[in-house]
Structure 1
Amino acid sequence: MNESYSPTTPRPISTSSPNTMKIFMCFLIAFIIAQTIGTVLFCLYLHMKLDKLEQELSLQEDYLFLRRIQKCRKPEGVSSSLLDCKEIINRFQDLLVKDTEVSKDDAKFEMQKDDRQQPISAHLMGFKNSTKKVSVLQWQKTGYAPMSNLISYKGGTLKVEKEGLYYIYSQVSFCTKTAPGAPFTVFIYLNLPSESDRLLLKGQDTHSSSSVYCALQSTHLGGVFELRKGDMVFVNVTDSTQVNYDHGNTYFGMFKLY
């Protein structure tokens, strides 16, 4: 008896297992990412909390230190307290000394910074306030050349408030006719209250050869000098009535080199 052969029908392949694995992997990755973000946020929060706690502890220590000082200052609290008041007072005094030194250093730094920012200089223009002869030429400030507060002016004299090396200069313009005798002379003096005035610079120019009109002439002086705090400098001429005070013709000034 012949039997017909029929091949076994293959079982259908299940597709549910790979999909489940994919879903599980996605869930696992999302969980790991969320866990990492949570850990980072928790670390940041903990760091901020520790900083705040440290600040509060520092403030509390400062408060307790001040309370100890206050208690040590009370006569009735010294004997009844177990605090070492002598050590506490010494620590407080050390803090005051250090704070004073820091304040002085800051003030010195600010002064040095101001000195660097603002040049120590002065430039004055000639000023005629009398038709008579004067022993010291007079000057006035100019708007285009501000004067440093470390140089003061009074009565024709410039006074330095900071010692150092200064360049001192002056130009005097004058108008003369032919005349016998000494030439027109310009002097720059260092005024010393306890001594005679010291001559720093001297310039001379001969009289004009014209006998009809006054020919304008000028003498310029300049030099570097070491000045101390409080030193005063002024300009003098042989005949102040001959000085020409037109703008830019006669001037006087100085500036600090270092």
Structure 2
Amino acid sequence: MNEPYSPTTPRPISTSSPSTMKMFMCFLSVFIIAQFIGTVLFCLYLHMKLDKVELEMNLQEDYLFLRKIQKCRKPEGAGSSFLDCKEIINRLENLLIKDVNVNTDGARPEKQKDDRQQPISAHLMGFKNSTKSVSVLQWQKTGYAPTSKLISYEGGKLKVEKEGLYYIYSQVSFCTKPVPGAPFTVFVYLNLPSESDRLLLKGQDTHSSSSSRVYCALQSTHLGGVFELRQGDVVFVNVTDSTQVNYDHGNTYFGMFKLY
């Protein structure tokens, strides 16, 4: 008996589930990102390590060079066949010359540093250039107390070229009249072109009551104070009667110096 033919049913092809595929792709992405980050961190570490090694090599080279210089300075090292002391000394001289050339180019920073360290001050002694009464006392520079370039003098007045806190001082010696009268007054003014002069210091001394046989009863008034001055400010000294001022050496003077 013939049996009916029936074709065999094909087996279904097994396929991965979508969730498994998604997990695999996530794992692969995380692995790639972690590998990239690790590579970057390793490159940074290697770069820092190479810089450190290079720095240590430079320091070691400098140390060896200094050791060679020290050995060449010794009598036994100068004649050693292992050291070329002449070449080492030439290298040292070239380095020193190069350093000097860098410091002396352009604005000469060493000279500017010396200028900044010089005190900003001026000290003047009294100078009589007229027998008549003057409105502003006149002064002259002294060799033992040079005036800074940042303080200029003209016409009895001191002008500051740099703002700051200054100590201003003056002493005026004078001869009193035999007959008592009005007090002898000394003024220190700040000259202001756009307005009236501002009084900074004032000192008074009464005339002595000495007899008429005394030609000059010498007295003095000293003033001093700290003031904030701007660039371009001008300071001068005035008295009630300039004909009585005594200009002997050390008796009458005027000056200032910058505190900071």
Same fold (TM > 0.5) = yes
Question: CA 1:166–1:112 in 2, change beyond 3 Å: closer, same or farther?
Answer: farther
2-structure distance, mates of 1:174, 1:110: 43
Separation in structure 1 between the aligned mates of residue 204 and residue 151 of structure 2, nearest angstrom = 28
CA contact (8 A) 2:180 2:208 kept: no
On the 8 A contact 2:180/2:209 being kept in 1, the answer is no
Alpha-carbon contact 2:181-2:207 (below 8 Å) kept: no
* Residue matched to 1:127: 127
4+ residue runs of structure 1 moved beyond 6 angstroms?
none
Cα deviation, residue 110, structure 1: 5.5
* 2:160 aligned partner: 160
Q: Which runs of 5+ in 2 are unaligned?
A: 1-81, 85-105
Aligned residue in 2 for 1:220:
222
Is 1:177–1:211's contact at 8 Å kept on the other side of the alignment? no
1:1-258 maps to which residues of 2 (within 5 A)?
A: 111=112, 113-116=114-117, 118-212=118-212, 213=214, 214-258=216-260
Shift of residue 195, structure 1, vs aligned partner: 1.2
- Taking the aligned partners of 1:177 and 1:238, their CA distance within structure 2 comes to 13
Cα distance between partner residues in 2 of 1:204 and 1:251: 16
SS in 1 for 2:116: helix
Q: Provide Cα deviations, 1:129-148, integer angstroms capped at 9, x if missing partner.
A: 00000000000000111111
Q: Deviations over 1:50-88 (max 9, x none)?
A: xxxxxxxxxxxxxxxxxxxxxxxxxxxxxxxxxxxxxxx
- Counterpart of 1:5 in structure 2 is none
SS in 1 for 2:136: coil
3-state SS in 2 of match to 1:249: coil
The CA distance in 2 between the partners of 1:228 and 1:155, in whole Å, is 20
Aligned equivalents of 1:112 and 1:158: distance in 2? Answer: 25
Q: Which amino acid aligns with 1:114?
A: D
Once residues 179 and 210 of structure 2 are traced to their aligned partners in structure 1, the CA distance between those partners, rounded to angstroms, is 10
Tell me how far apart the structure 2 counterparts of residues 127 and 170 of structure 1 sit (CA, whole Å): 14
Aligned-pair CA distance for 1:188: 0.3
Between the aligned partners of 1:179 and 1:232, the Cα distance in structure 2 is: 36
Contact 2:187 2:237 in 1 (8 A): yes
CA RMSD, 1 decimal: 2.5
Cα deviation, 1:205-231, whole Å, max 9, x if unaligned, reads: 010111221210000000000111100
Report deviation, 1:239.
Answer: 0.1
Three-state SS of the structure 2 residue aligned to 1:241 is: helix
Q: Deviations over 1:143-187 (max 9, x none)?
A: 111111110000000000111110000000000124354200000
For residues 223-248 of structure 1, the C-alpha deviation after alignment (integer angstroms, 9 at most, x for no partner) is 00011110000000000000000000
| Other-structure match for 1:99 | none
CA distance in 1, matches of 2:113, 2:150: 12
Indicate the SS of the match to 1:172.
strand
Say if 1:112 and 1:228 are closer, same or farther in 2 by CA, change over 3 A.
farther
The 2-side partners of 1:247 and 1:190 are apart by 26
TM-score (norm 1): 0.57
- Mind listing any 5+ residue stretches in structure 1 that lack a counterpart? 1-39, 45-102
Shift of 1:114: 1.5
For the residue of structure 2 that corresponds to 1:115, the secondary structure is helix
**CA distance in 1 between partners of 2:244 and 2:124 (Å):** 19
Q: Which residue of 1 aligns with 2:68?
A: none
Partner of 1:34: none
